[in-house]
Chain A
């Protein structure tokens, strides 16, 4: 039989052993993704959903951002901080929509200026935007007063945007319509002049 003093000292020892570990409660961030390569059209907006989650035991605020290579085509407020409660598993991830706008990247072959009698042969190499979507803790952890470093944690998902090229032939409709109109007007005046002469 242990006496109560021994039990109390064991309990105290257990507290000293367990408390530091309890103080090391973990926090982190997570990302859920369902696509890594997307075909996107020129001059069009394209949106992709990502999930952010935090299965750890401390609440965090996370920011969804993209790598420098994707920055030129990202649109809207993509880096708004999102609160993630502790214990948010991937099934309950918060959905954040990222939207991209890809400008016109393939040059048309036009006979007149940049607009008339154009064709697209899609002979240029495919344009791709390779990068990553990153979930970061909104603010670095750790103290800043001491000599050393604060730390920041992130996870990323790869993303490639392949810009599709739509091939189309040169359109001569305007020339044909113009010729027909000229012939029609010319014919009309031809008949009127002949009529007047007679």
Chain B
């Protein structure tokens, strides 16, 4: 009987030890005085929105027509200097992007392109395809002198910090070497608006 009791005591002790082990392994926090804290939350949400649109002529595509003289250097896109809608316009470009009035963030505008090639695989290097942009639109701006090559690796930033309701204007030029195979060369040019000060991305 005495030995049975000893075994019982032993198991009770083992159980207590087990319980103590669990308590020790858990992160028990012991606090001092009880205190009451009233939490008051405050919240503010900032929302940003951007919208852009292309001019009808840019939306219709950038065309260079049929090039019959080779080599040709800096062939103008067909709407580069074609603004004759109104007497007050003199050789302005008809390619532009407008930042909507329903935007609350200034934007930077970025450009990139696919390879310019034929369905058969002949290709005009993008180093021959130049673009220029400016917030001014007249016979001088955007200018060939400020132009840069199209790239297909990542977007290249053009005009920056354009506010809602404003426009950015574009011109495009294509150079074709004498050895260029005949064909219809096509690609897609991508225009992207990013929040002012942020990278254009890929």
Partner-B contacts on A (CB < 8 A): 17, 20-21, 23-34, 51, 53-56, 67-68, 89-90, 93, 131-132, 134, 140-158, 171-173, 176-177, 180, 183-184, 187-188, 191, 194-195
Contacts and interface: CB of A to CB of B under 8 A. Distances in A.
Contacts of B48: 32-34, 157
B160 interface: no
B49 A53 contact: yes
Contacts of A32: 47-49
Given A34-B46, A191-B10, A149 B116 contact: yes
A152 B98 CA distance: 14
Interface in B160-193: 172, 184-193
Given A151-B189, A155-B192, A173-B22, A53 B51 contact: yes
Interface of B: 3, 6-7, 10-11, 14, 17-18, 21-22, 24-25, 45-67, 77, 85-86, 97-98, 100-103, 107, 113, 116, 172, 184-195, 198, 201-202
Q: A-B pairs with the 5 shortest C-beta distances?
A: A142-B61, A24-B56, A30-B51, A28-B53, A176-B21
B192 A147 contact: no
Nearest to B197: A158
B68 to A, nearest CB: 11
Contacts of B52: 28-30, 153, 155
A24 B24 CA distance: 76
A27 B54 CA distance: 7
B53 A184 contact: no
B62 A153 contact: no
A147 B66 contact: yes
Nearest to B63: A148
Chain A, interface SS category: mixed
Contacts of B103: 30, 90
B100 to A, nearest CB: 5
Contacts of A195: 3
A179 B6 CA distance: 21
Nearest to B47: A34
Nearest to B185: A147
11 contacts: A28-B52, A30-B50, A33-B49, A53-B49, A147-B66, A149-B113, A150-B188, A151-B61, A153-B59, A177-B22, A188-B10
B53 A26 contact: yes
Nearest to A55: B102
Nearest to B78: A148
A154 B107 CA distance: 12
Nearest to A33: B48
A147 B104 CA distance: 37
A49 to B, nearest CB: 11
Contact of B59 (A20, A55, A151, A154): A151
Nearest to A31: B50
Given A141-B60, A147-B185, A171-B25, 7 more contacts: A24-B55, A30-B100, A30-B102, A151-B59, A153-B192, A155-B107, A187-B10
